[in-house]
Amino acid sequence: MRVHMKYETVIGLEVHVQLNTRSKAFCGDATDFGASPNSQVSPISLAHPGTLPRMNTRQIDSAIKLGLALGSQFPEEIRFDRKNYFYTDLPKGYQITQDAKPICQGGSLPIRLKEGYRDIRIHHVHMEEDAGKSIHDQKEAHSLVDLNRAGVPLLEIVTEPDLRSGAEVDAFMTAVRQLVRYLDISDGHMEQGSLRCDVNVSVRLKGESVYGERCEIKNLNSMKFARQAIKHEFKRQTELLENGQKVSSQTRQFHPENGTTSPLRSKEDAPDYRYFPEPDMPPVPLEMEKIKSLAKEAGTLPWEYYNTFHDTYGLSAEAARILSETKETADHFLRLVQQSENKQKQIAKTGSNILIQHILPRFPLLEGFPLKPAQTAQFCQILVAKIIPTRAAIDVLLPAWIKAPESDPEQLIAELRLNKQTDTDELRRALTAIVQAHPKEKAIYKGGKRNLLGFFMGQALRKVGKHHDPGEVRKLLVELLEA
């Protein structure tokens, strides 16, 4: 194993993002996941004679949104190309894609690693259409083809070889998933195939500046498989090099059953796709105005939220990560803090604690959480101002408010008799009763056995419970015992 320490893995990714447009990339067919086979196919999806493609502006908008987030350059014209090959699930016998002029060129995506954020350079992002699905092993002597997915719009994100480990690939995919959800251009479900990646892996001696020969591993549909494949490739390639052999440039196939890869084809056997400009869709100018208006609409990005939470509000890295996880959480938290004109840092601290410890565990990603940010902010102010005891607020007020989000918290406090003022009288009465019920113990206490306070505290807490601040209870008890 020690010998492997000399090497490093160099990884580049091709990530396919399935967009959440209502219709397909080049025709009006629906794109719902899980529809019965071949139910979302018109003559255009089926490539019937005489049918032609037309552009879906939502695919283009999605690509521009992503490009804006990545800081990419945009071309002056939108052009599509054809990639020609025969396959049962490719109805036209070619895929409409972008070869010569991808919609986004360059840019970078920050990924979060233990040591902080690191920018991964993006080579380009291009638009294309998905193929259908072929199933060759379900029916003897027959292949089954489902063309529902044929023509569904995809963006392919191609990175520079900037990743160095499975964990970094993991972080990259997490960042992509988070970003596409933030931008609302894809549901980002890896298990449904909305995010898929091909991994290019090579190895080289640490400190070396030249890249090694790389292998492409196709269609890894889970992060676990991607990590396994990378691990296997690292081992395989370093062993080859250690044995004085060369790594040959190949496309390889991953075997989920044992975590290994095997060659699919060598680069020399790579099919000639005969790319050429899509003649049915002439180039369309990409208007600056369109880019500007999409830029104007663009919301805050995950890493921007993270930085605000961490740097401005002083949250811990972990808290900032959790709260910037989804747009909904981040937005809620940010608006919560912005509600308060002063003590923002304190409100932020209280708010992040409340959200992370008490609200998110019950409402993951805030789904179904009924309180508005202004209400959560109000709740935090109640806590900060110690209007009622913390425990009472968290254990009684918050659940009650969640149940009746329309309520006024002041009224709830009164109804639930959480108010501190009336509370003190009540507490005094309750504690007086306890003290009066134990005259013997009181006498012993007064006689100097101060540790009997523990006995009274136990009694008191059992009786008045969490409605009261323990410090308060102790103070009052001492006063009563010494009276």
Partner 1 sequence: MDTFQGIEIDSLSNIREAIKEGVFSLPDLVDHYLATAEKHQDLNAYVSLFSAEAKERANNLQLAFETDPTAAGPLFGAVLSIKDNICLAGAEVTAASKILEGFESLYSATAVERLLEAGAIIIGRTNCDEFAMGSASEHSAYGPVKNADAPDHVPGGSSGGTAVSVQCGSCLIGLGSDTGGSVRQPASFCGLTGLKPTYGRISRHGLLAYASTFDQIGLIGRKAEDLALCLSVMAGPDEYDMTAAKEPLPASEIKKTAGSKRFCYFDFCVDHAGLQREVQDAFRRKLEALKKAGHIVEQVEFPWRDYLVPAYYVLTTAEASSNLSRYDGVRFGRRSPQAKTVEEVFDLSRTEGFGAEVKRRILLGTFVLSAGYYDAYYGRAQKVRRLISDHNQELFQKYDAILAPTSPILPWKHGDKDQDPISVYLADIYTVYANLTGIPAVSIPLERDSESGLAIGMQIMTNQFEEDTLFSLIALENNLPEK
Q: By the criterion CB under 8 A, which residues form the site for partner 1?
A: 43, 46-55, 82, 84, 86, 88, 91-94, 136, 143, 145, 272, 274-276, 279-282
Q: In the bound complex, what is the minimum distance in angstroms from residue 21's beta carbon to partner 1?
A: 17
Smaller CB separation from partner 1, 136 or 429: 136
In whole angstroms, how close is the CB of 381 to partner 1 at the nearest point?
56
State the nearest-atom distance from the C-beta of 294 to partner 1, in Å. 22
Cβ proximity to partner 1, 38 vs 338, nearer residue: 38
Nearer to partner 1, 141 or 210 (CB): 141
Q: Which is nearer to partner 1, 92 or 327 (CB)?
A: 92
Q: How far is the CB of 285 from partner 1 (least distance, A)?
A: 13
Task: Choose between 85 and 211: whose C-beta lies nearer to partner 1.
Answer: 85
Q: Which is nearer to partner 1, 22 or 450 (CB)?
A: 22
Rounded to a whole number of angstroms, the minimum distance from the CB of residue 45 to partner 1 is 10
* Least gap, CB of 252 to partner 1 (angstroms): 22
The full 3-state SS of the chain, as one line of letters, equals: CHHHHHEEEEEEEEEEEECCCCECCCCCCECCCCCCCCCCCCCCCCCCCCCCCCCCHHHHHHHHHHHHHHCCECCCEECCEEEECCCCCCCCCEEEECCCCCCEECCEEEEEECCEEEEEEEEEEEEEECCCEEEEEEECCEEEEECCCCCCEEEEEEECCCECCHHHHHHHHHHHHHHHHHCCCCCCCCCCCCEEEEEEEEEEECCCCCCCCCEEEEEECCHHHHHHHHHHHHHHHHHHHHCCCCCCCEEEEEECCCCEEEEEEEHHHCCCCCCEECCCCCCEECCHHHHHHHHHHCCCCHHHHHHHHHHHCCCCHHHHHHHCCCHHHHHHHHHHHHHCCCCHHHHHHHHHHHHHHHHCCCCHHHCCCCCCHHHHHHHHHHHHCCCCCHHHHHHHHHHHHHHCCCCCHHHHHHHCCCCHHHHHHHHHHHHHHHHHHCHHHHHHHHCCCHHHHHHHHHHHHHHHHHHCCHHHHHHHHHHHHHC
Taking the least distance from each CB to partner 1, the nearer of 45 and 186 is 45
Q: At what angle do helices 420-437 and 439-446 cross, to 10 degrees?
A: 90
CB of 274 to partner 1, least distance (A): 4
Q: How far is the CB of 46 from partner 1 (least distance, A)?
A: 6
The residue among 114 and 142 lying less far from partner 1, judged by its C-beta, is 142
To partner 1, the closest distance from the beta carbon of 220 in angstroms equals 24
Nearer to partner 1, 146 or 423 (CB): 146
